[in-house]
Amino acid sequence: MNDFEKRFRQFISSRSECKILDDGKPNVNGEIADFLLDAKRIIAELKCLDEDMIEKLQRLATEIIDGRNLEFYGEFPFSDLIESQPDKNELKKQAVLKIAGPLERHFKKANSQIKNIKRQLNLEDSHGLLILANTHNASLEPQAALWFLSVLLHRRKQDGSPICSSIDCILYLTQVHRVGELDGVKLQPAVTMLREEHYKYDGLDKYLQELLEDWAKFNNVPIFFSEKPFHEITDFSKIPMRRGGLLKDLTKRPKGLYIAVSLSMPALCGHCGARFAHPAGDGNPMYVNEPQKDLLAVGFVCPRCDGIAATYAADLVVDQKQDITTVYPWTGTVDDFLRTDWRSFIDRRNPPPNFGIP
């Protein structure tokens, strides 16, 4: 058992809705999965890629160089070797198959273990989750791993039914790859993948997101969610992201009546000065509170620092027209919301464009 698996087991054991099934002792009932998650609604098996396949990739490179009489000397990236070849796409597939062999073995083994637990515990309606952690296989880039896992997950028999059907979803984590940096944080991919039969997954994707947020918190590291699927992103430094964990924390510690809505975010964070990649994007966190009678306060939360990026306010007596309330920039501090002269801090000279709350 490697260090990652030990820590992940500690994380699972700290959660009240989870249970560890495999304690490492011999089991007379055959193969068993590692965990029960979400009050038995998910059967999960953890597998680690703890061997680097670089030697297999080097052997393939040697075969290509010798077989085609190419001139390559010293150390060079494998991508440099095949990029100039007319059949580079086929060579890429060969390379992935060389270094992704453990993926298929883990996939088939996990499917068997999950299937056995479903039968043993009469949990046929539970979802099967493969948690795959790349701890040492640096040769296997995340894009290649996810492409191969997608192939495994969506393979079909001749009758159209899925192969290895006990695995419904995959959570892929890697400790050996970085895809960019955000505010000094080196980004490590954490990607969820579900089968195409989405009608079965009511609430599953939300639970997996919460599990990821709690795993990040357990390790005392921030987590960011991108607005595009992983396979569609080519430059992580330019893709909009939001910081996770904040919404759930606020609902656990409410200080008033908060309403989550979706409106445009300011271009700069007034708290840390960060410039957002999508100043007019939708789907960003905003919280509404009424500190005192007739005062409506709107605060945008920065996904980078969790501070207040910008604050707006409205006097419901004068700024509410029928079902629409128009808000304006707030010039005071948070403490000023509780002053008797709070109306003097509302700046109606520069109302935000197209900004209203129904």
Cα 201 to Cα 37: distance, rounded to the nearest angstrom? 15
The predicted-structure confidence for 55-74, as pLDDT tens digits, reads as follows 666 677 777 777 777 766 66
336 and 300 within one domain? yes
b/e string for 277-293 if b means 16 or more Cβ within 10 A? Answer: ebeeeeebbbbbbeeee
The two three-digit tokens of residue 87, written as one number = 């059949």
Of 26-40, 90-104, 271-285, where does the model show the most confidence?
Answer: 26-40
60 or 279: which leads in pLDDT: 60
Q: How far is CA 338 from CA 32, 290, 294, 319, in A?
A: 58, 10, 12, 19
Mean pLDDT, residues 255-266 taken together:
37
149 and 186 within one domain? yes
Q: Which residues contact 52 (CB under 8 A, 6 or more apart)?
A: 136, 137, 138, 139
Mark out the alpha helices in 38-189 (DSSP H runs).
Answer: 54-68, 78-83, 88-99, 101-120, 142-153
161 and 75 within one domain? no
Mean pLDDT, residues 142-159 taken together:
83
59 and 179 within one domain? no
208 and 352 within one domain? no
With a pLDDT cut of 70, the percent of the chain lying above it is 68
Angle at 310 between CA 336 and CA 270, to 5 degrees: 100
State which of 207, 239, 271 marks the end of a domain: 239
pLDDT at 147 over 50: yes
How many domains does the chain fold into?
A: 3
With a pLDDT cut of 90, the percent of the chain lying above it is 20
State which of 208, 239, 270 marks the end of a domain: 239
184 and 198 within one domain? yes
Q: What pLDDT shows up at residue 261?
A: 35
Mean pLDDT, residues 174-178 taken together:
86
Q: What pLDDT shows up at residue 283?
A: 38
117 and 7 within one domain? yes
The 3-class SS string of 275-299 reads ECCCCCCCCEEEEEEEEECCEEEEE
State which of 35, 64, 96 marks the end of a domain: 96
pLDDT at 5 over 80: yes
pLDDT band with cut points at 50, 70 and 90 for residue 37? very high
Q: Which residues contact 196 (CB under 8 A, 6 or more apart)?
A: 154
pLDDT at 117 over 90: yes
Domain range spanning residue 230? 3-52+100-239
Mark out the alpha helices in 175-297 (DSSP H runs).
Answer: 204-218, 246-252
21 or 232: which leads in pLDDT: 21
Q: Which of 166-170, 209-213, 271-275, 301-305 has the lowest mean pLDDT?
A: 271-275
Q: Which of 133-137, 247-251, 301-305 has the lowest mean pLDDT?
A: 247-251
pLDDT at 128 over 90: yes
263 and 130 within one domain? no
Q: What pLDDT shows up at residue 263?
A: 38
279 and 347 within one domain? yes
207 and 263 within one domain? no
Closest alpha carbon to 94 in 67, 133, 70: 67
Length of the chain: 358
Q: What pLDDT shows up at residue 206?
A: 84
Is pTM beyond 0.85? Reply is no
pLDDT at 331 over 80: yes
The two three-digit tokens of residue 31, written as one number = 């193969």
Q: Tokens 């062999």 correspond to what residue? A: 101
182 or 48: which leads in pLDDT: 48
172 and 30 within one domain? yes
Q: Using an 8 Å Cβ cutoff, are 2 and 50 in contact?
A: yes
303 and 255 within one domain? yes
Q: Which residues contact 152 (CB under 8 A, 6 or more apart)?
A: 103, 104, 107, 164
The two three-digit tokens of residue 325, written as one number = 């309330």
Cα 168 to Cα 197: distance, rounded to the nearest angstrom? 9
